[in-house]
Structure 1
Amino acid sequence: MLKSFCEKLANSRFGIAAMCLLTYLGGFIFPVPSDVMLPPMIIGRPDRWKPLMIACVVFSVAGACSAYFLGFAFAGELATWAQSTNLEEINQATVLMAQYGSPILFVAAFAPIPFKTLALAAGAGAMPMALFLPAVVLGRTIRFYFISKVTLKGLKWMKHYKGIETKRT
């Protein structure tokens, strides 16, 4: 159901705006990974894969920065809430950020790790923006580049072996 909705949205005139909004919100609020919109958008417009990928990077980094600033602004409240509810994910993220800093943030930016939680923890721990931003930009760029290339390879394979045509190639 989500897949068909994303494919329909990707082919609509609101596709790029929806992808950007979903990617931004996925950086700090939305529980669904922002990756669900990029492949359908690329399948619909393979000639525009680079601008689509760059849009995902920019809006994902903006979402991560929002998570960072929320963590920074509400560090005390976040720590109290995490301890009172024994929320293990927040506690683990805080420990990881304290031990490893930007390297763990870089890994989380392109791996299937709860990235928004680590971005919140980075802000709550007042990680310097000079360490936070490069790790996030590089990690997110690698992630979305990889997703784009896998989608393009899959599309090429489908066209070659299955005779499937796309709208614009």
Structure 2
Amino acid sequence: MREKNQSFYVRIISKCKEKNSRIYLYTISFLESIIFPLPTDIFLVPFVLAKKKNYWKIALMSTIFSVLGGCLSFFIGLLLWEQVKPFLLEYYPSIEFKLNSFILQFNEYGIALIVIGGFSPFPFKITCVASGIMNLNFTVFIIFSFISRGLRFFLVCYLLYRFEEKANELIPKYIGALSFIFILILSIYFFL
């Protein structure tokens, strides 16, 4: 089983080394800020390990595309929320609770909530849509989105760059356990 996991890991890394493969990562970064359920960080791992010297470019472009997707979510909240709300509630029933919670907390904590929403595991798309619904200043939204997403992605990419050898040793060895933990985290994320 371990050999199969290592083979899978090697195939993923080799795919990430292909010339135009990063467009997939940037597309995920963009979509994650709108609707994609998986965090970009998971996809940063193989790309940074495959192209170690480009870790800062990968972090920068992931940040840019994530913020661009966040801008689209912002405008969905600002201009289309009432039209989109029934569709989202059907496929993502907890979104209304999360949005209302964000809005209540935003009144208390302000801009810090954008930074927390962009840096923490809290879904960035919720932060973006809620910011649009509240008609937050768009320039302020972009600035703090760049700061928070940039900090998050640069931190992940730098740590992978810095500890590449250890990551390449541990990931193939424990990919089964990591997959189980990942599925558990996703389940908690979707059902809470």
Listed one character per residue, the Cα deviations across residues 28-65 of structure 1 (whole Å, up to 9, x for unaligned) are 11011111221211111111111111111100110111
Judged with a 3 Å threshold, the aligned counterparts in structure 2 of structure 1 residues 90 and 33 are, in CA distance, closer, same or farther, namely same
Residue range with higher mean Cα deviation, 100-109 or 55-64: 100-109
Farther off after superposition, 118-127 or 66-75: 66-75
Pair 1:63-2:72 in alignment: no
Is 2:53 aligned against 1:47?
A: yes
Which residue, out of 143, 147, 154, partners 1:145?
A: 154
Distance in 1 (alpha carbons) for counterparts of 2:110 and 2:129: 12
Q: Label 1:80 to 1:46 Cα distance change in 2 as closer, same or farther (>3 A).
A: closer
CA distance in 1, matches of 2:78, 2:118: 19
Query: Which structure's residues are more often helix, by fraction?
Result: 2
- RMSD after superposition: 2.9
Report the AA paired with residue 100 of structure 1: Y
Give, in angstroms, the shift of residue 157 of structure 1.
3.8
1:15 to 15, 18, 21: 21
C-alpha separation in 2, matches of 1:40 and 1:21:
15
What's the secondary structure of 1:74's corresponding residue? helix
Name the residue aligned to 1:104.
113
Equivalent pair of 1:82/1:90 in contact (CA under 8 Å): no
Give the share of equivalent positions with the same residue, in percent.
18
TM value normalised by structure 2:
0.72
Moved over 4 A (4+): 3-6, 77-83
Give how far 1:15 is off.
1.5
Asked if structure 2 preserves the Cα contact closer than 8 Å seen for 1:11 and 1:44, the reply is: yes
Runs of 5+ in structure 2 lacking a partner? 171-192
Which residue in 1 is equivalent to 2:40? 34
> What's the counterpart of residue 124 of structure 1?
133
Assess, with a 3 A threshold, how the Cα gap between structure 1 residues 82 and 53 changes in structure 2: closer, same or farther. closer
How far, CA to CA, are the matches of 1:134 and 1:48 in structure 2?
Answer: 24
- For the 8 Å contact 1:6–1:36, the answer to whether it is kept is no
